[in-house]
Amino acid sequence: MKKNRANKEKELLNFSFDFELLEACPLCGSDVLIPNGKVEWLDMDFWYAVCGKCGLKFMNPRPTQKSYQDFYKNLFWEQKVANVGFHMPGQMWNTKRYKWDNEKAWSKKEGTKTVIEKHREMRVKIISDTLSGFITLDARTDILEVGAGFGVTLEELRKKYKSKVYAIEPSLEAQRAIKKVGTALIGSYAEDLGGLRNKKQKFDAIIFSHSLENTVYPLQIIKWAKQCLKKNGIIYVQCSNLLTFDQMNPYHPYIFSAHSLGLLAKKAGMKPLRAGERLHRMLTVVFKK
Ligand SMILES: [Zn+2]
């Protein structure tokens, strides 16, 4: 049994990204880039730079889009629920431990349960409170979540408001959970929005809860997402806040501040509106058309 577990862990950790170098800021195009921290994981270096013009912090060199897609499809949740994912304490202002942060090894079953419980407690309320400040949540509402994970938020919104819910999720493991509860899975990657924008189906809200900063071309993704919205539709984004949670990890090619995320919204032709607590370790912003 022990040996099987060790083999499984080895398999989960046997992955390497392909990297590419960015010679200009992917948001504003400036080539004044200042080295700004690094982390190491699985014999790989993840270096960060800050743009001297717009303040965007981003990984550079950065894994390619294809590498990230493979990783999220096959390994991200598998590692997380087995408690062998990347973890580095000390990147958070006024660090607080949550009951889910314990170090005990998780079994796949327990780990999945823990992730689902954590998402239900940490994400559902802020998302539904924020959305209801902008749109009516009822049976006529169409909500898409990009990077839906195990589909917890969508399932809760469907139960509470009877809204119609749709998911985009790369992980094969998480996709199974989404399909099991009957949520419509309409894509695998955020990049699928590029095709979905040509469809008749439009959304009142598109949620990126800890997923936009994991994509390689976030500005392009938001431009496409905007074209997937109904007339008064909104985009909800939550990610770690550079000023209170400088979360350098292999999953995040970007660490946004209110300024850089706001700039991204404006470059996509949208209006950024801050939501949530200012001092929170998470940055929550709604993009309006
Ligand atoms: Zn810049």
Region 161-185 average pLDDT: 96
CA of 75 to the centre of ligand 1 (A): 31
pLDDT digits (tens, 9 = 90+) for 126-152: 999 999 999 999 999 999 999 999 999
More confident residue, 139 or 97: 139
Q: How confident is the model at residue 102, as a pLDDT? A: 59
Beta strand 33-41 with 19-20: parallel, antiparallel or unpaired? unpaired
CA of 57 to the centre of ligand 1 (A): 8
Average pLDDT, the chain: 92
Q: Is 43 left (phi over 0), alpha (psi -120 to 50) or beta?
A: left
CA of 263 to the centre of ligand 1 (A): 9
pLDDT grade for 224, boundaries at 50, 70 and 90:
very high
CA of 48 to the centre of ligand 1 (A): 13
What is the amino acid identity at position 129?
D
Give the CA distances from residue 224 to residues 58, 101, 127, 154, 235, in Å, rounded to whole numbers and listed in that order.
21, 35, 21, 21, 11
| Interior/surface letters 26-47, b for 16+ CB within 10 angstroms, e for the rest | bbbeeeebeebeebebeeeebb
CA-wise closest residue to 134 among 269, 19, 286: 286
- Sheet with 271-275, strands from edge to edge, namely 184-187, 164-168, 142-146, 203-209, 229-240, 282-288, 271-275
pLDDT grade for 2, boundaries at 50, 70 and 90:
low
CA of 114 to the centre of ligand 1 (A): 37
CA of 262 to the centre of ligand 1 (A): 12
Number of Cα atoms under 13 Å in the Cβ half of residue 144:
27
More confident residue, 114 or 194: 194
CA of 109 to the centre of ligand 1 (A): 42
The dihedral formed by the CA atoms of 155, 146, 262 and 127, expressed in degrees to the nearest 10: 0
Helices and strands (DSSP H and E) totals, the chain: 10, 13
Q: How confident is the model at residue 3, as a pLDDT? A: 67
Region 280-285 average pLDDT: 94
CA of 53 to the centre of ligand 1 (A): 5
Q: Which of 49-58, 91-100, 157-166, 185-194 has the lowest mean pLDDT?
A: 91-100
More confident residue, 200 or 94: 200
Tokens 């998480």 -> residue: 174
DSSP label at residue 92: B
What domains can be seen in the chain, in order of their start residue?
A: 118-288 (3.40.50.150)
CA of 189 to the centre of ligand 1 (A): 25
Q: How confident is the model at residue 111, as a pLDDT? A: 81
Q: How confident is the model at residue 115, as a pLDDT? A: 84
Region 100-125 average pLDDT: 77
Region 42-63 average pLDDT: 97
CA of 4 to the centre of ligand 1 (A): 47
pLDDT grade for 247, boundaries at 50, 70 and 90:
very high
Q: How confident is the model at residue 10, as a pLDDT? A: 81
Looking at the chain, the whole-number percentage of residues with pLDDT higher than 90 is 76
| Token pair listed for 163 | 């809204």
Looking at the chain, the whole-number percentage of residues with pLDDT higher than 70 is 94
Q: How confident is the model at residue 105, as a pLDDT? A: 53
Helices (H), 82-212: 108-122, 124-132, 152-161, 172-180, 193-196
